[in-house]
Every structure is written in structure tokens, then in C-alpha cells.
Amino acid sequence: MEFLKHETRTVFHANATNGSRSTLNLSALITTLPEDGDGKMISNSDPVEPLTTAAATSAVAVTASSSAEGQPAPPATPNIVMSSKDHDSLFSGGGIRFSYGYSSFKGKRSSMEDFFETTISEVDGQMVAFFGVFDGSSYCLTSVPVSVALLMFGGCTSPFAVFSSLRHTLTLLVFRPGCTAPVDILYWDDDCHGGSRTAEYLKNNLFKNLSSHPDFIKDTKTAIVEAFKQTDIDYLNEEKGHQRDAGSTASTAMLLGDRIVVANVGDSRVVASRAGSAIPLSIDHKPDRSDERQRIEKAGGFIIWAGTWRVGGVLAVSRAFGDKLLKPYVVADPEIQEEEIDGVDFIIIASDGLWNVISNNEAVSLVQNITDAEVASRELIKEAYARGSSDNITSVVVRFDIS
């Protein structure tokens, strides 16, 4: 497994004064890694140091990059400052020290449909760290005459779909009322990679929409729900007229003051470690979850077993961005969970390429003693690949040290 390493590190210092409102001058640096076209792994690590009351009054940013392509080495002690914020909306001294690293690997797939985002921004005077993993999926559409469909499947008995196998993959026939129109066949194809469009759209827009929501700081949960729904609407509007359908999961973690806020759509996952114990911060949205199945059936849809449980026989997740042909059964409504940072050793955000072969407890145990977040993220991917993961694999690891 060949590694392509890319590192970007930044130093920020800002004044924090108790008893008065302090504005943090922060130039958020967003790192965009090169697209993996050769099966290489891309990774990054950024250590973060705490804010102190002795910090300089003006923000200073120092940036360095290094890669396998001979770029200059980073400085010896690069830092990113993230302040803590007390409950009366004032910046306080001390703060949270954390480091984060990420790795992404195409694996055995012919294309890369995983995307991720790590960014630190100032929102209404408060510094917020955003981390997200977005796992795209897609299926293509063709049309066949109803007469052919009837010969293949022996009649049109379902108002929505009939399931069979086509081209060694799943096929869904979507029957129109009266069976008089051509039938769209939905199937997976190695040449159909629309899911990367959705995942990339989320990488570029989801956190931007979150941070620009007017109530993000004062009513975070409401802002998350509204921003997720609006992002889905905006994406679907951009995709009007495309014959291919595509979607993406979104597993996100935001650091606000002394808490972690996790918002999840789909089956990418966030897991925390407390004293070596795995704490799930998200629950996969699978069609066979009793509450998800009930929601889908109440909306008029159904699920079918096709190697795994699938919405309409097609999609193996019950919530996702995009997937316009499966609306309103597949929704982008996030489930949100909060966790106090105090006592959390680290969190792992990863796509299902990892979780399909590694359990929560195994993942935590595997990297429990690895203090370098980037190394931890790489080890998770290498282990998933060694265990036979057939999917794209992406992981982000965030380690905490409360000072």
C-alpha cells in the first residue's frame, strides 16, 4: 500500500479576556488533498494547542506544507489554537488541546466516492472545528419497454417495483401506473460514479451552510436540521435533468466550546473513546432498523432483502443526501447527539468501508495507544483493507487533551 502524504499546519494566537466579549481573528485554513487516481492513500495530521490568556492580541498565522513530492518540511512546533468558551458567551483562558489526522484510500473500488472535510472557522466570535466524512453512492438508469419487462418478470403486479438480478448486480424495475410507459431500470455499474458528485458537493457546501446559519451558536440543533435539509434541497435542484441518480451519507462532528456535536445521515459513523471504552456517537441508518422501516413504510415505500436490506431493493441506507428517485423514503434528516469533551480520549469518524469489517470496540482498541492522529487514521485503514474491505475507506481521528 503506497502512501501519498500531504501535511498543512497553521499557528494561531489570539487574545482572550475574561469579563468582556472577545473577537477571535481567525483565518480558517481548509486543506484540499489531491484526488487519488492510483490507489494511493492520502493523509494529513494537524496538532492543536490550547489558548492562553497570555496569547498575543493579534492573530498570527504560520503555514507550512510537506509531501512526498519534496515540499519544505513543517516547523518544529506548529500549533492551531482553539479557545474554549464559557456559558455566558465569553472566551476564557485554558482551552482544549486536540490534534487531528485523516486518511483516505480508494481500496478495491474502481473509483473514489469518499470525501472528507476538516476545517476550523470563527462563527459569531466563537471558534468551531468541523469534521466530516461523506460516502457517495450511485446507480444508473436505462429504459426498457414494458413488454420486455413483462416477459422477464411475468407481469406487472407491483405499483412501485419488482426485484431481480441483472448484470450480476441488483436491478429494480419501477413500474408506472397502468404499465403503459417505459420502465426505468436502476442498477450499479462500474462506469456509473455519480456518488462522488454528491459527496463532493457536501464537502464544499455542508459546513458552509451550517456556519452561515444565523442561529448556529445559540440554537445549534435547530440550525443543523435546517442546514442539512436545505443542503439536500439545493443539491437536488442542481441535479435536475440528470439521468443518473446519486446520493451520499454525511457523518459530521463539530467541536463547540466544551462539547462535541455529532450529526449523522446514513451509515458512516462516529465513535468516541472514554478510558478505552467505545462510545457510539451515531447509529447507522439502515433500512431494517425498526424505526426506519416503519418510517419508510408509512411514507408508502418498502424494503427488500437483496444481499442486505435495501430501500426499494436499491439502497442499503435509509437516509442520505440526494437519491432523488427514492424520495420521500430516503431522507436527509440528521440524528444529532452531544457529548462532553471532558474525559473523551479521541473520536473516530469513518465511512462504512471501515465499519463493515471493524467493530467499534476493535477500532478503539486498535488506536488506543497511538498518540499521532494521522498514524492512527492510517492504521485503521490498513487494518480494514487487510480484513478484506471492498469499499473506499476514509477515517478522521481527533485526539483530545484538556488543559
Cα distances from 7 to residues 18, 137, 168, in angstroms, run 34, 28, 41
Handedness of CA 385, 388, 394, 395 (dihedral sign): negative
Domain boundary among 160, 187, 214: 187
pLDDT of residue 305: 87
Give the rounded distance of the alpha carbon of 190 from its chain centre.
23
94 vs 257, higher pLDDT? 257
Q: Round to whole Å and give the CA distance between 230 and 213.
A: 11
283 contact partners, CB below 8 Å, separation of at least 6: 264, 289, 335
Least confident segment among 80-84, 253-257, 323-327: 80-84
- Same-domain pairing of 165 and 203: no
pLDDT of residue 114: 95
For residue 328, pLDDT beyond 50: yes
Where does 145-258 show beta strands of DSSP type E?
Answer: 161-166, 169-174, 183-187, 245-248, 250-256
For residue 3, pLDDT beyond 80: no
For residue 398, pLDDT beyond 70: yes
What is the extent of the structural domain holding 169?
Answer: 139-187
pLDDT of residue 1: 54
Work out the number of other CB atoms within 10 angstroms of the CB of residue 36: 18
Grid cell at residue 32: 484540499
Grid cell at residue 264: 449523522
Domain boundary among 149, 164, 187: 187
CB 373 within 8 A of CB 99: yes
Q: Which amino acid is at 284?
A: D
User: How much is the mean pLDDT over the chain?
Assistant: 72
- Same-domain pairing of 331 and 268: yes
For residue 101, pLDDT beyond 70: yes
| pLDDT 10s digits, 112-131 | 999 999 999 999 988 899 99
Q: How does DSSP classify residue 102?
A: E
- Same-domain pairing of 159 and 219: no
CB 337 within 8 A of CB 265: no
- Same-domain pairing of 130 and 16: yes
- Same-domain pairing of 126 and 274: yes
pLDDT of residue 306: 82
Domain boundary among 153, 187, 221: 187
- CATH number, position 362: 3.60.40.10
- Same-domain pairing of 134 and 150: no
Range among 33-42, 59-68, 238-247, 369-378 rated most confident: 369-378
- Same-domain pairing of 156 and 20: no
| pLDDT 10s digits, 48-58 | 443 332 222 22
Domain count, the chain: 2
- Same-domain pairing of 106 and 148: no
- Same-domain pairing of 363 and 225: yes
pLDDT of residue 95: 67
132 vs 154, higher pLDDT? 132
One-character DSSP codes across 243-310: SSEEEE-EEEEEEETTEEEEEEESS-EEEEEETTEEEES-----TTSHHHHHHHHHTT--EEESSSEE
| pLDDT 10s digits, 205-222 | 999 999 999 999 999 999
| pLDDT 10s digits, 375-391 | 999 999 999 999 999 99
Q: Which amino acid is at 156?
A: C
- Same-domain pairing of 359 and 330: yes
pLDDT of residue 379: 97
pLDDT of residue 232: 97
Helix (H, G, I), strand (E, B) or coil at 11: strand
- Same-domain pairing of 35 and 129: yes
For residue 272, name the pLDDT band (cuts at 50, 70, 90): very high
285 vs 141, higher pLDDT? 285
Give, rounded to a whole angstrom, the gap between the first and last alpha carbons of the chain: 37
Grid cell at residue 73: 518540511
- Same-domain pairing of 351 and 311: yes
pLDDT of residue 137: 81
Grid cell at residue 69: 513530492
